[in-house]
């Protein structure tokens, strides 16, 4: 088609040249002058070389291999969520309105900015959620304060972790000890701040008094926290707030440096337990009966703790007035060959409560909680109600080891056990 068009144009030009020779030659002259001026203006003719040919595409494989991300990459990917979780647990928020009995949505005030956001489990009005469409700090705060702990827990994938790190040390794997959070953390109890009234009588005037007092108790729920406060003499009205003890930056840095996997909802006690296991290279499972015993005495422990550490916490958490009975119970367990916390007779049985030590014996018990290394104290325990006599001198610190709190230049990794009240 292009050839035919060219031939027709040539024939038309020849016809015009013979028919109107002078006008045709004038037009051709003008066109030639215009073309020459254009070449001079541009500094020469345009290059006529063709661009280099494109490289041929390599044949693609029908299935591209997917490389497994390393542990370091997974930690970096999870840092954004970790940062949002920490902000949700440490910044100041307030739920203004809760919509519906199912608690499907809420209006949350950010006290730092003064903004109010409408939040659900799947959306938020803040800019952070609009940009990434991932759970923001407001959504996490909403979930944690409506009991949706498991939905916000994002455990690190279990593949890619070995039992030893690059230094050759044993790494504790937290899901061996507990897989689901019991709240904001993996402890048997949580710390609550309970404010109530403490009634009494004025020593000066003899008139009844009623003053506000705030106590810290270990409990499993708001109702249990109120019951614990009433045991301490507080009366209503009560104000109950759960205390979230967030791990420190130093603890998080230690976890990352030692390549220890950890759940995102871990609290300071959980992280301290994992770090203690790592330093001790102790992978012993803590039996359920020790956790039950700790709960009975309102002693807060982590499900990640070593059994020896849980026993120590129980002893430290028992009130001083109950330590003689607990000491007698430990002697009974030792002599009958039963594990501490798993004997036929309960630790608060009358047989042990009847043990009344002398002042010197009491000082010994308080200074060396479970070390009756001579028969005099064993005889005193037997006289107070322990049925089995002690036939040998034995150091019960195997059952109640006195742990030193570990320190390092980076961070104190093991927090001392908190007393029950």
Q: Residue 237: is the preceding peptide bond cis (ω within 30°)? A: yes
Residue 119 lies in a domain: yes
Q: pLDDT tens for residues 6-65?
A: 656 666 666 666 666 666 666 666 566 555 555 444 444 444 444 555 444 433 323 222
At residue 65, the 3 state secondary structure works out as coil
Domain identity same for 230 and 126: no
Residues 6+ apart with CB under 8 A from 396: 330, 331, 334, 370, 371, 372
- CB 385 within 8 Å of CB 352: yes
Domain identity same for 198 and 290: no
Domain identity same for 331 and 361: yes
Domain identity same for 330 and 206: no
Chosen domain end from 242, 273, 308:
242
pLDDT at residue 127, as a whole number: 94
Q: Kindly give the parts of the chain with pLDDT less than 50.
A: 39-50, 54-78, 371-421
pLDDT at residue 73, as a whole number: 31
Task: Please give the helix or strand (H or E) that residue 150 lies within, else none.
Answer: helix 149-152
Distance between CA 192 and CA 241 in Å, rounded? 6
pLDDT at residue 254, as a whole number: 94
pLDDT at residue 356, as a whole number: 87
Domain identity same for 197 and 145: no
Domain identity same for 275 and 388: yes
Residue 3 lies in a domain: no
- For 389, the domain range is 249-398
Residue 72 lies in a domain: no
Domain identity same for 204 and 291: no
| Predicted TM-score of the model (pTM) | 0.67
Mean pLDDT (the chain) is 77
Residue 178 lies in a domain: no
Distance between CA 399 and CA 238 in Å, rounded? 39
Residue 69 lies in a domain: no
Domain identity same for 366 and 266: yes
Domain identity same for 318 and 391: yes
Residue 283 lies in a domain: yes
pLDDT at residue 5, as a whole number: 58
Residue 51 lies in a domain: no
Domain identity same for 141 and 109: yes
* Domain count of the fold of the chain: 3
Which residue, chain included where needed, has tokens 């009344």?
A: 356
How far is CA 98 from each of CA 88, 183, 383, rounded to the nearest angstrom?
A: 18, 20, 60
Backbone angles phi, psi at 357, to 5 degrees: -80, 160
Domain identity same for 253 and 311: yes
Distance between CA 59 and CA 103 in Å, rounded? 55
Chosen domain end from 129, 152, 175:
152
Chosen domain end from 152, 167, 198:
152
pLDDT at residue 52, as a whole number: 52
Distance between CA 175 and CA 169 in Å, rounded? 18
Domain identity same for 197 and 228: yes
Residue 7 lies in a domain: no
């Amino acid at each position: 088609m292009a050839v035919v068009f060219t031939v027709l144009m040539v024939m038309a030009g020849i016809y015009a040249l013979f028919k109107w020779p002078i006008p045709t030659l004038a037009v051709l002259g003008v066109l030639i002058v215009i073309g020459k001026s254009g070449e001079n203006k541009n500094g020469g003719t345009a290059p006529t070389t063709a661009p280099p040919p494109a490289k041929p595409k390599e044949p693609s494989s029908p299935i591209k291999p997917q490389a497994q991300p390393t542990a370091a990459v997974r930690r970096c990917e999870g840092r954004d969520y970790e940062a949002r979780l920490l902000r949700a647990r440490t910044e100041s928020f307030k739920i203004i309105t809760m919509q519906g009995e199912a608690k499907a949505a809420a209006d949350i005030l950010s006290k730092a900015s003064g903004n109010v956001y409408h939040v659900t489990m799947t959306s938020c009005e803040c800019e952070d959620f609009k940009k990434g469409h991932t759970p923001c700090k407001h959504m996490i705060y909403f979930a944690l304060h409506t009991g949706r702990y498991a939905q916000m827990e994002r455990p690190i994938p279990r593949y890619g972790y070995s039992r030893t790190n690059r230094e050759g040390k044993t790494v504790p794997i937290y899901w061996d000890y507990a897989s689901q959070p019991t709240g904001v953390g993996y402890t048997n109890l949580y710390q609550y701040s309970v404010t109530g009234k403490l009634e009494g009588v004025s020593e000066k005037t003899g008139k009844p008094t009623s003053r506000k007092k705030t106590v810290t108790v270990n409990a499993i729920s708001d109702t249990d926290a109120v019951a614990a406060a009433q045991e301490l003499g507080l009366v209503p009205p009560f104000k109950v707030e759960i205390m979230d003890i967030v791990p420190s930056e130093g603890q998080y840095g230690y976890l990352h440096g030692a390549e220890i996997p950890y759940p995102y909802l871990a609290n300071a006690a959980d992280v301290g337990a994992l770090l203690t296991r790592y330093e001790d290279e102790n992978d012993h499972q803590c039996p359920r009966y020790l956790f039950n015993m700790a709960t009975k005495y309102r002693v807060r422990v982590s499900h990640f703790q070593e059994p020896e550490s849980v026993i120590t916490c129980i002893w430290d958490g028992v009130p001083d007035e109950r330590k003689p009975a607990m000491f007698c119970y430990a002697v009974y367990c030792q002599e009958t060959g039963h594990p501490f916390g798993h004997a036929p007779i309960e630790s608060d049985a009358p047989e042990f409560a009847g043990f009344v030590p002398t002042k010197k014996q009491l000082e010994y018990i308080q200074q060396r909680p479970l070390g009756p290394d001579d028969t005099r104290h064993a005889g005193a325990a037997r006289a107070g109600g322990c049925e089995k006599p002690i036939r040998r001198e034995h150091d019960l610190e195997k059952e109640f080891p006195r742990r030193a709190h570990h320190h390092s230049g980076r961070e104190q990794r093991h927090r001392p056990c908190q007393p029950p009240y």
